[in-house]
Structure 1
Amino acid sequence: MSNSFDKSTIPDLGGRVILVTGGTGGIGVEIVVELAKHNPAHIVFTGRNATSARTTISRAQALSPGASIAFVQCDLASLTSVNAAADKIIAAYPRLDVFFANAGIMATPPGLSEDGYEVQFATNHVGHALLTRRLLPLLEKTQAMPGADVRVVITSSTAWYGGVMKFDPLKTTKNTAVAMGRWQRYCDSKLANVLYARELAKRYPKLLCFSVTPGVVGTSLVTDLSLFDRAFVYVSQLGRIKTPEQGSYNHLWALSEPRASIKAGAFYEPVGKLSTSESASSKDPEMAGRLWEWTEKELKKWLE
């Protein structure tokens, strides 16, 4: 995987509004800081920690004085929190040009979200799905404006190759007895990201929707793991772990690459490499549709 990206290819973002989830840490910070240099109308980012958010804003505005950067508190593991965040964004901004569904957790201890979902699946997929669905009218409204180029970029991982979609256990902590259960749950959530991006692209073809991976990045997702899991990551990815800045390159590419050069619904590896890898689940023509319908059913009360 390439670690290079030419930042001079990032276009002038004048008039555009950009949303980044997970902007309080890791590659989310790097995305906010870099894009603030390119004259956006507004950058909005979400996260759980208001103190970390102030650090992100201070760092970005130190390099880009006058940049309009706002924080909206949002816990993706809480649909109540996601719904409130969506309300604030919709009320505050008349348009939304780029949505980076970037936040995530990895290999966390067994647990359920407050809504009863396995916590990794809740954070990485269900919460983002609700935020996406709530924002779709604003995204579609923006795309209808002259010269608009609306993009929805969902952060996944090459871990999705090991994912499976079993809909029954998504509200349980199944497989927690074995040491690798937490990794399987992570893989499953990352497969959901890829499938959801594909189905989103199919159902909303006027929007450019696709998924990307940053690669393996030395952020808190790795450093906060148990000693055993950190050792597993560092040994298995020896020589391939990126800095957070390098980890942001595929996302910056996703915003900068000419629209006609990107395949809607596809999955891109760093930097800008169309993935040709597939798993049995990803090749199932019905799987993305099944995930969409399951998700719609789960979110129904929030979308009425």
Structure 2
Amino acid sequence: MEGVSGGDEEDMGFRWEVREEATMTIGARICLLVNSAFHKLSVKYETTDCWTETQATVVIMFNDFDKSTIPDLTGRVILITGGTGGIGVEIVIELAKHNPAHIIFTGRNAASADTTIKRAHALTPRANITFIPCDLASLTSVNAAADKVIAVCPRLDVFLPNAGIMATPPGLSEDGYEVQFATNHLGHALLTRRLLPLLEKTAAIPGADVRLIITSSTGWHGGTMQFDDLRTTKDTRIAMGRWKRYCDTKLANMLYARELAKRYPKILCFSLSPGVVGTSLVTDLSLFDRTFVYVSQLGRIRTVEQGSYNHLWALSVPRESIKAGEFYEPVGKLSTYENASSKDPEMKGRLWEWTEKELEKWLK
């Protein structure tokens, strides 16, 4: 059975009618806060001649992806953050097989970066791959990384802001922002803003297809945008506070993609979720949080390779198949979900203005 927003599915003799509810229970909200691909759904199923209705949480099943559909990338320059671990490594290795002119990836760990390059070169010896150190929790580091990207790239066809942290303890970045928000949104926003002139320059080249693909998560469903506490640890002392802070950053990723799509229509900008993936984002959690994720996601956690599929799809699908500013679940499923913050027509603009103000000194 494949989860959908509406319609019928046939599965092992049962007929499933799946529809998303506007109002979610506390249990469903908690599932959203753990970066799940769950929705609170109402499920009606039929056995023989009897209808029974129950409330259940039904996983959105993930479609497969055929890597042979990835086009030849000759001449294209690709940048991905977080290429030293998780799905970022898989994306670098796979894209290297398709003849791009240059792949640049960022991360904090030089030894892990060397491993990524060696793995890619073992399969594609002539691939042109460059590592640039970057700590997204440090705007100084991000600014320096942007300088290096601009120095080595005459063009930039695809930018994948992919790196991130999840459910970390309360803390501040070196610039004084809540650390998850600093890493997942603000650092990427600075890198994006610094690289927008290069992206626009590339988009003006005849035949160019420039894409800015921001990694978010279905966790944004549980996020809210409140701008007055982003220079605090946002430590609410509630049990799931670390997850709530994470969800807020994923909402920011999605909203920022929408605003970028509006302001820069020549660049195809949208956001996506890789699904719930068994990377270090999960394995490095506390025992309690790991147990919570594994139990709530039993049988639904994707391999790292599978976690790369939505990004590879987003790079491969014809441009006209993508709706700018939208959010896609794995693999290539256009999401229609909205929450109070995402429905607010002014929210993405408010996030843009707040972000511009905070980055002002770096953009002069």
TM-score range, shorter chain: over 0.9
From 296, 316, 333, the counterpart of 1:256:
316
Distance 1:181 1:172 in 2: 13
Name which of 284, 302, 325 aligns with 1:265. Answer: 325
Match 1:95 to one of 155, 171, 193: 155
SS in 1 for 2:143: helix
Any idea what the Cα deviations from partners look like across 1:244-288, whole Å, max 9, x if unmatched? 100000000000000001000000000000001111100100000
1:224 aligns with 2:284: yes
Deviation at 1:178, TM superposition (A): 1.7
Contact 2:170 2:235 in 1 (8 A): no
Q: Which structure has the higher relative contact order (CA within 8 Å, separation 6+)? A: 1
Q: 1:21 aligns with which of 81, 89, 104?
A: 81
After TM superposition, the structure 1 = structure 2 runs for residues 221-300 of structure 1, keeping only pairs within 5 Å, are 221-300=281-360
% identity of equivalent residues: 83
Correspondence for 1:145: 205
Shift, 1:175, TM fit: 3.2
Higher helix share: 1
Aligned partners of 1:26 and 1:220 also within 8 Å: yes
Determine if the alignment matches structure 1 residue 110 to structure 2 residue 170. yes
Counterpart CA distance in 2 for 1:237 and 1:134 is 38
Q: Counterpart in 2 of 1:11? A: 71
Tell me the SS of whatever aligns to 1:268.
Answer: strand
Match of 2:12 in 1: none
- State how far apart, in whole Å, the 1-side matches of 2:147 and 2:218 are: 32
Q: Which has the higher strand share?
A: 2
Q: Offset of 1:134 from its aligned partner?
A: 0.1
CA offset at residue 176 of structure 1?
4.1
CA contact (8 A) 2:282 2:290 kept: yes
Is residue 225 of structure 2 the alignment partner of residue 165 of structure 1?
yes
CA distance in 1, matches of 2:339, 2:275: 18
User: TM-score, normalising length from structure 1?
Assistant: 0.99
CA distances 1:62-107 after superposition (whole Å, capped 9, x unpaired): 0001100000000000000000000000011100000000000000
Report the residue type matching 2:62 in the other structure. S
Matched, 1:201 2:223: no
C-alpha separation in 2, matches of 1:98 and 1:186: 25
Write out per-residue CA displacement over residues 92-129 of structure 1, whole angstroms, 9 at most, x where no aligned residue.
Answer: 11000000000000000110000000000000000000
TM superposition shift of 1:173: 1.3
CA distance in 2, matches of 1:204, 1:108: 33
- Give the Cα separation in 2 of the matches to 1:176 and 1:31: 36
Q: CA deviation at 1:3?
A: 4.2
Aligned to 1:41: 101
How far apart, CA to CA, are the structure 2 residues paired with 1:189 and 1:119?
Answer: 10
User: How many Å apart are 1:179 and its aligned residue?
Assistant: 1.8
Q: Superposition pairs for residues 61-72 of structure 1, below 5 Å?
A: 61-72=121-132
Superposed, 1:65-84 pairs within 5 Å as 65-84=125-144
Aligned length: 304
Q: How far, CA to CA, are the matches of 2:72 and 2:338 in structure 1?
A: 35
CA distance in 1: counterparts of 2:210 and 2:86, whole angstroms: 24
Q: CA-to-partner distance for each residue in 1:32-79, whole Å, 9 max, x for gaps?
A: 000000000000000000000000000001000110000000000000
Give unpaired runs (5+ residues) of structure 1: none
Is contact 1:3-1:242 (8 Å) kept? Answer: no
Deviation string, structure 1 residues 227-255 (Cα, Å, up to 9, x no partner): 00001111111111001100000000000
Is the contact between residue 117 and residue 171 of structure 1 (CA under 8 Å) also seen in structure 2? Answer: yes
Question: Match of 1:171, SS?
Answer: coil
TM-score for the superposition, normalised by structure 2:
0.83
CA distance in 2 between counterparts of 1:247 and 1:67 reads 23
Q: Distance in 1 between matches of 2:257 and 2:295?
A: 31
Is there any run of 5+ residues in structure 2 with no aligned partner, and where?
Answer: 1-60
Aligned partner of 2:317: which letter?
Answer: E
Shift >6 Å, 4+ stretches: none
Aligned alpha-carbon RMSD (Å): 0.6
1:184 corresponds to which residue? Answer: 244
Task: Measure, in 2, the Cα distance between the counterparts of 1:205 and 1:96.
Answer: 16
Q: d(CA) in 1 for partners of 2:150 and 2:305? A: 29
Greater Rg by CA: 2
Paired residues of 1:143 and 1:150 also in contact (CA < 8 A): yes
Distance 2:339 2:274 in 1: 19
Q: Secondary structure at the match of 2:350?
A: helix
CA distance in 1, matches of 2:97, 2:360: 39
